[in-house]
Amino acid sequence: MTALALHDLSCYSKSSLTVVLPVMEALGVEAAVIPTAILSTQTDGFDDIYIEDREHEMTDIASRLEGLGVTFDGVYTGFLSSESEVDAVMRIVGRQEGLKLVDPVMGDGGELYQTVTRSHAERMARLVRKADIITPNLTEAMILTGLEDGLRKLGQGDIKDLVDVLRSLGPGRGVITSIPLLAGGLGNVAWDGDEKRIFQYDDLGVSYPGSGDLFASVLFALVLRGESFFGSVSHATAIATYAIAESKRHGRERRLGIELYPVMKEIRRRML
């Protein structure tokens, strides 16, 4: 199995490509990359961030790969640093025939990230329409659907409304991550066609940048390997929750992102 990851590279702190590459390779998926942006650090928790858009390089690299006749079993898109970059990725993704996963990275905690504008978010909704699988967190799901009403705990009716609107955008499968549940704890809500399932897990009282990248990477790699969609969501939920718990247990500074070493051991123990 092979995959192309279009994602940013944070030079310091664990997120995006520094998570995606090792995790997908550990799960037996050979990953190629097209960096969408170069950042000094990830964007959550750092004030002075260097960020450089790589739109032109992305287009040129994709063109060279196409010229070589290189194809991929899957394409995974993550953080995109500008509106024009979303447009470039839509063109690249539109020329790929493999399974397409879009992680519409735009915000968390009820707010847009500091590099994301409302216009940027509108373009991201267009990219979502090209996806087979999407993995928004709750904030991103609210932005995509226009159902923005805070981060209150959600019941079955709220969840159904969210999923129905997201499905209407086009993706036949997807997961809304990190939903506060009326029933208690947090949940990842997955759908595959008409079927929906909630994967509940404990609220550990902390989040770490990179955990969403980890979740999407595990999910996508397992689906590419032929695992069932809901089974893949279950494994990805368990791995991401474990990563947060271990990072917290070791006292890791939140803005440094998830601690990756114990994650790799857990992947080997569970799935290899």
Residue 255: band (very low, low, confident or very high) from pLDDT cuts 50, 70, 90 = very high
| Collapsed DSSP state (helix, strand, coil) of residue 175 | strand
**Residue type at position 242:** Y
Give the domain ranges of the chain: 2-271
Q: Does the global pTM surpass 0.85?
A: yes
Burial of 251 (0-12, 13-18, 19+ CB in 10 A): exposed
| pLDDT value of residue 111 | 83
Burial of 221 (0-12, 13-18, 19+ CB in 10 A): buried
Q: Which CATH class is domain 2-271?
A: alpha beta
Q: How is residue 123 annotated by DSSP?
A: H
Q: What is the pLDDT of residues 207-250, one digit of tens each?
A: 999 999 999 999 999 999 999 999 999 999 999 999 999 999 99
Whether residue 32 is predicted with pLDDT greater than 80 in this model: the reply is: yes
Q: Tokens standing for 242?
A: 């474990």
Q: What is the pLDDT of residues 50-76, one digit of tens each?
A: 988 898 899 999 999 999 999 999 999
The pLDDT mean for the chain works out to 92
Whether residue 39 is predicted with pLDDT greater than 60 in this model: the reply is: yes
Q: How far apart are CA 41 and CA 43, in angstroms?
A: 6
Beta carbons of 71 and 65 less than 8 angstroms apart: no
| pLDDT value of residue 148 | 63
Q: What is the pLDDT of residues 184-214, one digit of tens each?
A: 899 999 999 999 999 999 999 999 999 999 9
